[in-house]
Amino acid sequence: MEPFDPAELPELLKLYYRRLFPYAQYYRWLNYGGVTKNYFQHREFSFTLKDDIYIRYQSFNNQSELEKEMQKMNPYKIDIGAVYSHRPNQHNTVKLGAFQAQEKELVFDIDMTDYDDVRRCCSSADICSKCWTLMTMAMRIIDRALKEDFGFKHRLWVYSGRRGVHCWVCDESVRKLSSAVRSGIVEYLSLVKGGQDVKKKVHLNEKVHPFVRKSINIIKKYFEEYALVGQDILENKENWDKILALVPETIHDELQRGFQKFHSSPQRWEHLRKVANSSQNMKNDKCGPWLEWEVMLQYCFPRLDVNVSKGINHLLKSPFSVHPKTGRISVPIDFHKVDQFDPFTVPTISAICRELDMVSTHEKEKEENEADGRHRVRDYKKTSLAPYVKVFEQFLENLDKSRKGELLKKSDLQKDF
């Protein structure tokens, strides 16, 4: 994908908001079929403008008002907040304490920087195809739990535009959850605990919860290729010492001897497994298969930004926002192809604006030849943004079907008197 020049951003955003942003689908999503009166009107949007000017508590009456404002302001970043008791743009006129966040999607934010203690290829804002596997595993683990353990149907996964992913759980019942319930869900999904000073961040015992077992089964599919080959986590003494810090001291000497004897991470890992599971060491209640699982979880398990998910009034970056540093669009991810998703092929704003320019020139000539006023194809469909909008539309279709199903169920129940 071509390089992005941040100096061009203001001009590119003008074109993007005027011709490429999928407003109709966006409004259809956040309006949720007009679930209740003023649902969309009570939603908070926040815009970050050029030079980090930050405007909160924006709200709009309808799609056209949202479009006009976005085209006028050209925000560098768009965040979506809660649905409030009153219109957010009138929050100053409401008496103290009455302005309350009432509903919001359950959201998750997973950021690669939280894995800096366990990835060797990159650090801070940098990512590469090697460490992106962490995001793939995170999406698979969290999505499976949301779907199977909680029964949540409508889950939209979105690339953040730079180094992470977001998930929006949009079921009607979920949008109404209290902060306490949200906290409980995040607690259930969190295994890696402790700050920078805590070396061992995962603790299991013989009674391993089904959620943990299922997560380990997902990690196992990626572990050798990702951790042992790609990250080479047992390459040398400096690295294997980090792993020794996670296992009981009683087996350190035995592991050290083996690690020195073998010459690759896969061989050394096999040695660790044998030592942990040997009948001699199994007498020690800290050994057993869960010892290798603790290491796998510490290196590969999702690390959630807990506060983003707990608070109903927390803001999260909007899908189809543009990342001002990379120029990449924050696009929905097709979960059926999550293993193939490559953040480096996500279109940048400069690429899609250029595609549109090329198409427009070609079309002008065509229109001059056939001025019969045929139905105009939406501009985003002429660019590499199209497949991502399609993923979003499929998500909206499923939401609509669900809603119609619920309405039918209600009307049937009312007939059964």
Q: What is the mean pLDDT of the chain?
A: 93
Residue 75 is predicted with a pLDDT of: 97
Q: Which two tokens stand for residue 415?
A: 């007939």
Of 376, 375, 382, which is closest to residue 356 (Cα–Cα)?
A: 382
Q: How confident is the model at residue 285 (pLDDT cuts 50, 70, 90)?
A: low
pLDDT greater than 70 at residue 243: yes
Q: How confident is the model at residue 71 (pLDDT cuts 50, 70, 90)?
A: very high
Asked if the model's pLDDT at residue 366 lies above 80, the reply is: no
Share of residues in the chain with pLDDT > 90 (%): 82
pLDDT per position as a tens digit, 344-361: 999 999 999 999 988 866
Residue 371 predicted with pLDDT over 60: no
- List the end-to-end C-alpha distance of the chain, in Å, as a whole number: 62
Task: Indicate the SS3 state at residue 254.
Answer: helix
Dist CA 371 CA 83 (whole Å)? 46
316-330 per-position pLDDT tens digit: 999 999 999 999 999
Q: Which residues contact 393 (CB under 8 A, 6 or more apart)?
A: 25
What per-residue confidence (pLDDT) applies to 4? 84
Average of pLDDT values for 218-233?
97
Query: Domain residues of the chain, as ranges?
Result: 6-109+154-159+310-366+377-414, 193-300
The mean per-residue pLDDT over the stretch 128-138 comes to 97
Instruction: Give me the pLDDT at residue 282, please.
Output: 72
Is the pLDDT at 231 greater than 50, yes or no? yes
Q: Tens digits of per-residue pLDDT, 16-33?
A: 999 999 999 999 999 999
pLDDT the model gives residue 367: 55
Confidence tier at 410 by pLDDT (50, 70, 90)? confident
Phi, psi dihedrals of residue 368, rounded to the nearest 5°: -60, -35
pLDDT at 254 over 80: yes
Torsion over CA of 323, 386, 393 and 173, rounded to 10 degrees?
Answer: -10
Higher-confidence residue: 241 or 414? Answer: 241
Supply 405's token pair. Answer: 């199903």
Give SS3 for 108: strand
Residue 271, pLDDT above cutoff 90: yes
Query: 9 with 324: CB under 8 angstroms?
Result: yes
pLDDT confidence of residue 372: 47
For residue 374, pLDDT beyond 60: no
pLDDT at 209: 95
Class of the 6-109+154-159+310-366+377-414 domain?
A: alpha beta
Give the residue numbers annotated as catalytic, written as ranges: 44, 109, 111
d(CA 287, CA 279): 10
